[in-house]
Amino acid sequence: MANSTINMSSVYDLPPLPSYTLTPVKPLIPYVSDFILSLFLPIAAYWIVSLFFHFIDVYDIWPQYRLHTPVEITQRNHVSRYEVARDVIIQQIIQVGMGAVLGLTEPEQMLGREEYDIARWAQRLRIAQRALPQLLGLLGLNAAAISQNVSGNHPNIAAVLAGGKYPGLMGLEAEGSVPTFASWEMVVASTIYWYIVPALQFAAAVIVLDTWQYFLHRAMHMNKWLYSM
């Protein structure tokens, strides 16, 4: 009986995480480091886009799409192009300096850990499933009974309702038979790793950057000393 208990508990252990080997990320452009590109590509993009719109303004291209007429622009804009370019260059010098400090303090970017990190998310999903029977119990539902009822037609749903128990999912490793992840767990884990987490990181970065730019721009318009710079 004791051996049976040990075997059943080992079946429901978490699947092991894969091993990995790290290798440096190859630069996007040969002979130019990504660190240098991260500092100067945003500046290049800014000036390319700015010159494009400047060309449109000077040669009055697509006037039907203008938000403001040339007369309105002349009346409202009292800053010369030289002053604008000067202030932009000052801000970009600060931007490059801050980017260099942040870039130099970051470790070298490496590849090779992707499958490991995806498996970690799959492990988190498996652990989260353990709480499902208790949550359903709070709603007055018997997760074990529901799991047994649907096990014939929907084995994955039955395993989730049982608290993440997949007795039929086993694989072979060097140490013997070990639990493996369900296909749906790997799909969801991959989606989280490749899409959801980057989307949240990008959204957070945009919110922080836009908020900083907004209040800095507002301060420059409301503060007389900043506006005169």
At residue 206 the predicted structure's pLDDT band, cuts being 50, 70 and 90, is very high
Average pLDDT of the residues in 129-145? 93
Structure confidence at residue 218 (pLDDT): 81
Phi, psi dihedral angles at 172 (to 5 degrees): -105, 130
Q: Which residues on neighbouring strands pair with residue 172, listed in sequence order? A: 177
Q: Could you tell me the CA-to-CA distances from 184 to 47, 126, 169, 174, 180 in Å, in that order?
A: 46, 11, 12, 25, 12
Q: What torsion do the CA atoms of 63, 66, 72, 73 make, to the nearest 10 degrees?
A: -90
Domain ranges of the chain: 24-111
- Per-residue model confidence as pLDDT tens digits over 96-130: 999 999 999 999 999 999 999 999 999 999 999 99
| DSSP per position, the chain | -HHHHHHHHHHTSPPPPPP---EEPPPSBTTB-HHHHHHHHHHHHHHHHHHHHHHHHHTT-SGGG-SS-HHHHHHH--S-HHHHHHHHHHHHHHHHHHHHHHHHHSPPPEES-HHHHHHHHHHHHHHHHTTHHHHHHHTT--HHHHHHHHTTT-HHHHHHHTTS--TT-EEEETTEEEE---HHHHHHHHHIIIIIHHHHHHHHHHHHHHHHHHHHHHHHHH-HHHHH-
Structure confidence at residue 10 (pLDDT): 43
Average pLDDT of the residues in 187-210? 96
Q: Does the structure show a pLDDT above 70 at 30?
A: yes
Q: Answer with the residue of higher pLDDT: 78 or 58.
A: 58
At residue 4 the predicted structure's pLDDT band, cuts being 50, 70 and 90, is very low
27-36, 57-66, 218-227: least confidently modelled range: 218-227
Whole-number Å distance between alpha carbons of 99 and 128? 38
At residue 228 the predicted structure's pLDDT band, cuts being 50, 70 and 90, is low
